[in-house]
Every structure is written in C-alpha cells, then in structure tokens.
Amino acid sequence: MLEQFITFLRAKNPTKTPIYEHLKCSQEETFILQYICRRYARGIEEVSVLEILQECFNTQEYGYILHVEKVKNLIDLGWIVQSNFGQLKTHESSKLELLSASVLPSVTLLRLLEEGSLEILLPEVKPYTDHLEYLQDQFDMVTLLHLIATSKNGYGDNSLGIGRLQNKLSLLTKRIEERLKVTSEPIIVEEFFAEKKLDDKEQKIFLALLKEEYSAGEGQFREMNNLIGLVSFDEYDKIKNRALLEEGSRLISEEIIDYDEILNMFGGISRSFFINEEILHRIIHPNKKKKVTKLKLDMLVKEQDIFEYIEPTTTLDDVVLHTKTRETLDTIVRQMDKDVFAKLKSWGIKEKRKGVDAKIIFYGHAGTGKTMTALSLAKTLKKPVLSFDCSKILSMYVGESEKNVRKIFDDFKLLSEKAKVEPILLLDEADQFLSSRIQGDGSSAAKMHNQMQNIFLEQIEKFEGILIATTNLLGNLDKAFSRRFDYKIEFKKPSKKQRLQLWQMFLPENADFEDEFEIEKLAVYELTGAQIYLVIKNTAYKVAVREISVFSLSDFIEEIRRELGGNFESDSKSVGFKVD
C-alpha cells in the first residue's frame, strides 16, 4: 500500500488524503508532516526545525517562530521524533529550544503512511476461558500505563506518542470490560476486587504487583514512585496518590499488600512492595487450598503464659539516642538491604537466611530507654516483639529453672513457625542470665544458677534472628556472654542536650504554659527519659484539676524535686514511659 505514501507526498492539499483522518492534527501541522516526509523520500532523514518553519510559513521577518508550537504538538502526538543527537526532553525544555533541534518521521507515522491505519488488531470479543487469559490482558494494560508514565517523564521511546499510547490503553481497557461481560466463569481477581471494594487506582497497583510476581521479578513495579506513576496524571496527582501506599491506606491496613524497607545507595530508606502471601496464593492457585494456614501471632501468644506479644508503635526516629548508638542500630537495619545481603553471602558471613541476624545487649541505668529503643528498632524493621520477663525464670524447685530456659527458646521458635513470622525476642531484666557465674560455692543454688547460664549460652549460640537482652548491670557482665553477643550498647543517662530534646518531645502540644515558661531551665535537672515522662504526667494530673489549667515552671520543678528525692522511686518502673 505504498501508493498511499506517494499520494500523500504528491497532494497539493494533504488534508484531502485518506491519511488525514488518522492524524488528528491541524491543517497546518499536516503540511509540516508532508514537508518532512517529502525530504525523507529524497533521502534526507533529518530536517532542522528552523528550516521546516521557514519553508512552511512564509511570514514576515521571524514570524515563523510563532508556529514552533505546532512542531512540539506533532512530537507529543508521536508523528515526529527528535534526532538522537542533542535530543531534548520536551516536557522540560522551552519551545524556543526546538529551533536548534532536528526531527524525522517516527516509525508510527511511516507505518500509518504504509498501511493506511493504526487500528489495533484486537481479538474478537469472546469470554475469558480462565484467569490467566484475563491476567495477560491486564498485564498488557500495566505495561501501557508504564509506557505512558515514562513518556510523560521524557524517558524511553516516545515514537508512539502519549496520545497513541493513551488510545491503545483506552481500546484495551474497553476490550477487557467487554470480555468480562460475556464471561460466565468466575474470574478470581475480579471477585477479589469486588470483595475488597478496591477502586480503579488500587486495582491497577495490585495488578502491577501481581505482574511482578508472575514474572518472578524484584523489579520496577515494586518501587513506590513507579507504582504511583502508573495511576497519576501529573506531579500534583503523584503527591496526592502517595496516600494509596502510606500507612493507614486500605491496601496496607487491610493487609492486601505489605512492604520491606530497604536502605538505598544514598543512605535513605525506600520501600519495596509485595502482595500478602495468603492473597497471592489465593490468586495464583484459585482451585488449590493452602494446606498450612497462617495463624496470627498475637492469637497464638494468648494461648500460652510465657511471652507477652507487643506490637511496637514508635520507630527509631521517635527515640532520642546517642549518635554512636544510632549508627550501630542503623547498621543492623541495613541488613535488610538485598545488596548488603548479597555481599555478606559472597563473603561467607551469611548463608541461607535473608533475614536480619543480631544478638544485642542493651545495658545501663534504669529509665534510660533500653526497652523503648528495642521496641522502636522492631517497628523500624517491621517486626512484632515477643517479650519475656526474665524474673519469671526463677523456680522454688531445683531443676525447673534449667528446663524453663530451654522452654523460652523452644516455644519462641514454635510460635514463629506457626505464625510464619520472625518476631524479635526481647529478654527484659536479664540481669541473672548475664551476670558473672558464681565461683567456689558448692551450694545447690549456685549450681542451678551456673547450669542455667550454661544452657542460656548454648541457646544463644544456636539462635537465628534478632535477640535483645536488657539489663541494668553496668560492669558485671560475664565474659562468656560478651563473646556471644554481636552488639553491646550502653545506655547512659541523657546529657543536657538530650534532656532538652526529651522535654520538647514529651511536653503536651495543646496545653497552655505561663508566659515566662523556659524549657531550658527544666533540662538542667539530671533526669532519665522515664523520669522526665513521669514528672510531666504527674504535673499534668495536678494542673488538670485546676479551673485555669496553665502549666508553670514551678509546677514542674516541684515534681522534679519529689522525683529526685525518691518519693516516687517505686512507681517510676511501672508507670508511663515504656522502659525497664
């Protein structure tokens, strides 16, 4: 059908040719295309934009510049493309920059001129025979969305043009709808969308993640910006649509999808999204029931009396930490990075396990934030916590305590396997485990203590995952334990600067304070984080009962003196601040 190409080249008025109805551009823009194609037919592949405007628009001096927008529109439509040399990103460049560019006919335009049509050859409307046939159409839709998003950003091949891509997307979307209407067999993905009441954007994000699963990839559609780009019209829309993948969104709160936080090469943390395991199994194997049912960890914990289940609420960003302590904890978090794991594996440091491995001791004064930091680390790693109060291990019967030590670790492993999660094991108040062993004492109590510690050492040696032990011991750590823990982090009483941060963090935001209130005067008192929280809490109770509830500096100082005087020593370990 090359005759159509020749007819277009010869026409005095190209808008009268059959091709014109397919171009969807103005009459003047059609003349520009004809000029470019005539040059192409004579062997001149690239033509400068300046030459095109000067030849096609015989106007007063420099008047041709007014028509540069027509060239830009033809680029956006995908009928012409800029030459590779000096190519501009048209979404970022000014129209005047095009004057120095060269263009040539796109593959799409040449195909149109040769074949006479760009209509997509879609199959006839017929029912889907199974969910895989349906998914193939949906995955093609995701690919088109991605091409449109990258074209808008000025990346990739824009020879099809955003307009052409959007037309293909519209046709494909309509065809999917038409085929679903005549399909009588249930399509599991559509049933799932209806059950969860997912809107159009949520469905597209889900389908993009599902495409990654079927292609067994760790690729582009797991990253937040790429997922948001699929469902966004412009930059403002991208900002608004981030809420679709934030905490509290339907996709995450209803556990349809989840994410891993990965440290990127620039030191920031990015999110890699994936579909919940149970839902994925339901979609990929619609006719096959999963043999092993995943049980909720918190429900399993309720059936036993050893551990307390804790769902952390604060991250490391919510805790005031010494710089070196934060650096150490960040090193632990970085084990989640797949590139870091690959290095450790190649060096022989890690073998099969992809999870984080760390045995940590937090030691220091009571109230310095050891337990809160442990919970915040868990939240940052997106892990629940199974906490054990080590004072429970003591038994009045000799021999029972040794059994109980093994039971801690055996039950922890059993619960983790049943729930198919990897919680953090928190051994709170582990002083008796970590203190130096008793020498030269032949009593049965001393033997039990030393035997219990030997078993504890043995269990730590075999432990996989994250174990955190907290203790108030400052210098009486047994050397055998010191060798078996990867990290030993001391928690000192906060400095004045840190105390100021803690006061600023804990003081109620919506309260009224006297005009001469100076928070710096409170920071001079040497309090731990737990004591600061307790002082604020007790002061708040006192101020709240007043008719005029205004906090004064003297209110806080009065409570500080009580705390430092020891009046509330017994309460400081059980009220308020989540520490030892």
Is residue 576 in some structural domain?
no
Extract long-range pairs of 291-298: CB within 8 Å, 24+ residues apart: 292/420, 294/419, 294/420, 295/418, 295/419, 296/419, 297/384, 297/386, 297/415, 297/416, 297/419, 297/421, 297/423, 298/384
Domain count across the chain? 4
Instruction: For the chain, state the CA radius of gyration.
Output: 34
Residues 471 and 324 placed together within one structural domain of the fold:
yes
> Residue 510: which CATH number?
1.10.8.60
172 or 441: which leads in pLDDT: 172
Identify whether residues 279 and 301 lie together within a single domain.
no
Q: Please, are residues 370 and 491 in contact by the beta-carbon 8 Å criterion? A: yes
293/290 Cα distance (integer angstroms):
7
pLDDT digits (tens, 9 = 90+) for 471-509: 887 566 677 777 788 888 888 888 899 899 999 989 998
- Contact by Cβ (8 Å): 470, 430: yes
Per-residue pLDDT tens for 141-158?
998 898 888 877 654 444
CA 375 distance to own-chain centroid: 19
Residue 578 lies in a domain: no
Is pLDDT larger for residue 567 or for residue 239? 239
- Is residue 47 domain-shared with residue 180, that is, in the same domain? no
How sure is the predictor about 159, in pLDDT bands with cuts at 50, 70 and 90? very low
Say whether pLDDT at 292 is over 50: no
What pLDDT, on a 0 to 100 scale, did the predictor assign at position 219? 64
Task: Say if residue 150 is in the same domain as residue 272.
Answer: yes
For residues 579 and 369, the answer to whether their CB atoms sit within 8 Å is yes
- Close Cβ partners of 341 (under 8 Å, ≥ 6 residues apart): 335, 350, 354
Answer whether residue 377 shows pLDDT above 60. Answer: yes
Report pLDDT for 86: 43
31 lies in some domain: yes
pLDDT of residue 85: 44
Question: 556 falls in which pLDDT band (50, 70, 90)?
Answer: very high
pLDDT tens-digit readout, 449-462: 788 888 888 888 88
Average pLDDT over residues 231-250: 87
What are residue 340's phi and psi, to 5 degrees?
Answer: -65, -45
Two structure tokens written together for 141: 């839709």
pLDDT digits (tens, 9 = 90+) for 1-43: 688 889 999 999 999 998 888 888 999 999 999 999 999 999 9
The reply to whether 122 falls in a domain is: no
- How is residue 549 written in tokens? 């509830």
What's the rounded Cα separation, in Å, for the pair 79 and 107? 8
Boundary-marking domain end, from 465, 491, 517? 491
- The verdict on 469 and 557 lying in the same domain is no
- What is the helix (H) or strand (E) element at residue 468, kind and residue range? strand 466-471
Question: Contact, 396 vs 357, CB < 8 A?
Answer: no
313 part of a folded domain: yes
Which residues constitute the domain of residue 404? Answer: 297-491
Sign of CA dihedral 404, 410, 413, 419: negative
Residues 6+ apart with CB under 8 A from 422: 355, 383, 416, 465, 466
At 467 the pLDDT is: 93
The stretch 283-294 carries a mean pLDDT of: 63
Question: According to the model, what pLDDT value does residue 571 have?
Answer: 40
Q: Are residues 516 and 469 in the same domain?
A: no
Residue 48 lies in a domain: yes
CATH code of the domain covering residue 325: 3.40.50.300
The segment with the largest mean pLDDT, out of 80-84, 167-171, 393-397, 477-481, is 167-171
Summary mean pLDDT of the chain: 81
Q: Which residue's structure tokens are 């500096």?
A: 553
Which three-class secondary structure string do you get for 183-228? CCCCCHHHHHHHHHCCCHHHHHHHHHHHHHHHCCCCCHHHEHHHHH
Buried b (16+ CB within 10 A) or exposed e, 226-238: bbbbbbbeeeeee
Residues 507 and 468 placed together within one structural domain of the fold: no
Position 573 scores a pLDDT of 34
Name residue, tokens 């006719």: 287
Look at residue 447 and tell me whether its pLDDT is greater than 80.
no
Bridge-based pairing state of the strands 385-389 and 308-310: antiparallel
Domain boundary among 237, 262, 284: 284
Write down the pLDDT at residue 167. Answer: 74
Residue 383 has pLDDT above 90, yes or no: no
Percent of residues, the chain, with pLDDT higher than 90:
28
Torsion of CA 496, 319, 489, 356, to 10 degrees: -160
Q: In 251-278, which positions are buried (b, 16+ CB within 10 angstroms) versus exposed (e)?
A: bbeeebbebbebbeeeeeebbbbebbee
Determine the pLDDT at residue 182: 92
Closest CA to 168 of 137, 203, 126: 137
The verdict on 101 and 216 lying in the same domain is no
* Burial bucket for residue 279 (CB in 10 Å: 0-12, 13-18, 19+): middle
End-to-end CA distance of the chain: 83
- Number of other CB atoms surrounding residue 22 within 10 Å: 14
The mean-pLDDT minimum among 354-358, 380-384, 474-478 falls in 474-478
Give me the amino acid identity at 361. I
Length of the chain: 580
Q: How high is the pLDDT of residue 90?
A: 41
* Mean pLDDT score, 386-399: 69
What are the strands, taking DSSP E only, across 229-371?
257-263, 269-275, 308-310, 358-364
- Distance, in Å, from the CA atom of 28 to the CA atom of 74, rounded to the nearest integer, reads 11
pLDDT, tens digit, for every residue of 116-127? 776 655 556 788
Alpha-carbon separation of residue 516 from 50, 481, 536, 551, 553 (angstroms): 70, 51, 18, 11, 8
pLDDT of residue 396: 44
Residue scoring higher pLDDT (359 or 482): 359
Average of pLDDT values for 244-267?
78
162 in a domain, yes or no? yes
207 CB-near residues (< 8 Å, 6+ apart): 138, 139, 141, 142, 189
Same domain (yes/no): 332, 425: yes
Strands 487-491 and 47-48: unpaired
Confidence of residue 366 (pLDDT cuts 50, 70, 90): confident
Indicate if 506 and 483 belong to the same structural domain.
no
pLDDT above 90 for 264: no
pTM: 0.50
Q: What percent of the chain has pLDDT over 70?
A: 82
CA angle in degrees (0–180, nearest 5) for 342-344-347: 110
Place of tokens 């982090």: 489
Q: Which of 32-41, 156-165, 418-427 has the highest mean pLDDT?
A: 32-41
pLDDT at res. 567 = 45
Range scoring the smallest mean pLDDT among 186-195, 200-209, 321-330, 537-546:
321-330
Is the same domain home to 560 and 514?
yes
Residues 6+ apart with CB under 8 A from 576: 530, 533, 534, 537
DSSP assigned state of 576:
S
Q: Which of 472, 491, 510 is the last residue of a domain?
A: 491
Residues 380, 306, single domain; the answer is: yes
Answer yes or no: are the C-beta atoms of 224 and 242 closer than 8 Å. yes
Tell me the C-alpha distance between 218 and 341, whole Å.
15
Residue 30 is part of a domain; what is its CATH number?
A: 1.10.10
In a domain, 372, yes or no: yes
Which tens digits make up the pLDDT trace of 85-105?
444 444 445 678 888 888 888
